[in-house]
Amino acid sequence: MTKEQSQVHKWTADETVAKIQHASKNIKEYSFLMRNTVKTVRESGAIPELVDAIREASFALRDTVNEINQTAKEIHKKGIVTETANAIDSTIISIEDSVNTVKEIVVDAEKVLPNSKKAVQDGIQKAKHLKLKVGVA
């Protein structure tokens, strides 16, 4: 048995009645306060104001969602996303081709100019770094 349970059982009948009467009094007081609060809120016009505000917010949300939907449909219809993706893909292919060409130049240059090998390799590293920045594997 917990301490709280043992305390409940130790109350006398008079103490129990007093506790019940105190709880009843609190219920009555809070009920009266709640009734007056609701009446005051209703009479103040705050509830209709709140309902109007919620209605206006729902209209704004509806209109915003409709605008987003129309814009998304226009973007899809015009193929803007596909065109952009194709342009990025084409750019990546060009970068890869450029990197391969530079590699071939380096090989040729190594044969002709052994001393310039380091400078060309540095250029290749910079090209690889650029390639990584644009997301080419």
Residue 22 has pLDDT above 90, yes or no: yes
In a domain, 51, yes or no: yes
Provide CB contacts within 8 A for 19, sequence distance 6+: 11
Average pLDDT over residues 25-54: 91
In a domain, 2, yes or no: no
In a domain, 24, yes or no: yes
pTM of the predicted protein model: 0.42
Which amino acid is residue 59, in one-letter code?
Answer: F
Number of domains in the chain: 1
In a domain, 50, yes or no: yes
Average pLDDT over residues 5-27: 83
Structural Rg of the chain based on CA atoms: 39
- Please give the structure tokens belonging to residue 30: 């809070």
Q: How many CA atoms lie within 13 A of 24 on its CB side?
A: 6
Classify burial at 99, counting beta carbons within 10 Å of its beta carbon; exposed 0-12, middle 13-18, buried 19 or more: middle
In a domain, 7, yes or no: no
Average pLDDT over residues 70-88: 92
Which structural domain, as residue segments, surrounds residue 60? 14-135
* Residue 3, pLDDT score: 63
* Residue 127, pLDDT score: 78
Provide CB contacts within 8 A for 128, sequence distance 6+: 99
In a domain, 55, yes or no: yes
In a domain, 6, yes or no: no
- Please give the structure tokens belonging to residue 37: 């609060």
- Which CATH number does the domain housing residue 31 bear? 1.20.1280
In a domain, 1, yes or no: no
Residue 73 has pLDDT above 90, yes or no: yes
* Residue 4, pLDDT score: 61
